[in-house]
Amino acid sequence: MSKTWFITGTSSGIGRHLTERLLARGDRVASTVRQVDALDDLKALYGERLWVAALDVTDLESVRDVMARAFAELGQIDTVVSNAGYGLFGAGEEVSDDQIRLQLDTNLLGSIAVIRAALPHLRAQGGGQIQQVSSEGGQIAYPSFGLYHATKWGIEGFVEAVAQEVAPFGITCTIVEPGPAGTSFSTNAMRAEAMDVYAATPAGAIRRALAEGSFAIRGDADKMAQAMIDCADSGRAPRRLLLGAEAYGRVHAALTARLAELEAQRDVAVSTERDA
């Protein structure tokens, strides 16, 4: 039985792969992009099964309007995928105020707006699934990615809370955490103006590696898209869906270290209780 999806950020990367796979198997897709002609090739192939709207997720009123139109014109939407976003590279001191604001407006506030806009419609139809695309960077952090991490750690906290709030309405939420994949993420990312003082620091080392393209990318964006589809089809909604072998290893190591640090602080934590 075919399903209907709403997906933001479908012009490239995982969003594009997801759209292509869903249309190829017979599903309907409501896709949002910054430029509507970005999907002309798919529109020519699939016609009315591809619904396209221009959307900048930083325009919160437009997010609500586009979501309402999609539900009104397509009827039931089974899965909403909040995918739009981009990277910002630079040490915390290097990034500008304008860069910070746009990163938060897009990745965090824009993602929150998509979820909030979907909830009334999902409640009215009796349920559905939300997939929020985060990153392995929603649980770990690298130098020069601080503002990007701020948005991903932030959206994960929001989804954790919302998932508990909307479970009684039959709405499930999954946080998708891809590792690095062969997409245009790096080339499309915004970069801060470098400060010489950071050249010999971990932030400088990351900046040089990005400039040289020396990071090995093993993740397959198309396979990641299929894993997201399989998750939706399974009828089960894990709170997190981690994608990528190296991402699994890094997140596992980070969580193990955090748990060990927590255990080491148990006595201090307990000592701060009021005396009986």
Which of the residues are catalytic? Answer: 134, 148, 152
Of 90, 87, 172, 101, which is closest to residue 137 (Cα–Cα)?
87
Q: Distance between CA 138 and CA 175 in Å, rounded? A: 9
DSSP state of 7: E
Strand 50-54 and strand 88-89: pairing? unpaired
Give residues with Cβ within 8 angstroms of 201, minimum separation 6.
91, 143
Of 42, 8, 25, which is closest to residue 226 (Cα–Cα)?
25
Give the phi and the psi of residue 172 in degrees, each rounded to 5: -110, 155
Q: Retrieve residue 35's tokens.
A: 């430029």
Q: Distance between CA 137 and CA 179 in Å, rounded? A: 8
Other C-beta atoms lying within 10 Å of the C-beta of residue 245: 11
Q: How far is CA 173 from CA 93, 193, 235, 251, in A?
A: 34, 37, 12, 20
Q: Retrieve residue 111's tokens.
A: 């993602």
Residue 210 near residue 89 (C-beta atoms within 8 A): yes
Q: Which residue has the tokens 């999609």?
A: 70
